[in-house]
Amino acid sequence: GAVVSQHPSRVICKSGTSVKIECRSLDFQATTMFWYRQFPKQSLMLMATSNEGSKATYEQGVEKDKFLINHASLTLSTLTVTSAHPEDSSFYICSANGWTDYEQYFGPGTRLTVT
């Protein structure tokens, strides 16, 4: 199946700093990618839809100035958590539609810990 990678897999940062997470589609082009956040023992919550060549669309309640999304190419989307706080500590996962138009392939996730 289609492969999506994420980097880094784990990151620890200090409060007030910014962290960039990369999501890459390795063997297909993705005009649209999705960013999710998952707190421990909870479900995945869609944060935003990343569109290649245009602005991301954010879900209600997600601050676009705090979670900056850039979809620079057909294989790369980045999520930057700006001025991170401990409450931003979570598991961030990206996904993209692969060969079909409905099956979503998820990246391995990035575990962010803000101290």
**Which one, 9 or 17, has the nearer CB to other proteins?**
9
**Which one, 63 or 103, has the nearer CB to other proteins?**
103
The strands making up 19-25's β-sheet, listed across from edge to edge, are: 4-7, 19-25, 76-81, 67-73
Q: In this structure, how many other beta carbons lie within 10 angstroms of the beta carbon of residue 88?
A: 19
Task: Candidates 3, 22, 49, 113: give the one binding other proteins (CB under 8 A).
Answer: 49
Sign of CA dihedral 100, 103, 109, 114: positive
Position 34 contacts other proteins (CB under 8 A):
yes
Task: List contacts with other proteins (CB under 8 A).
Answer: 32, 34, 41-46, 49, 93, 95, 97, 101-109
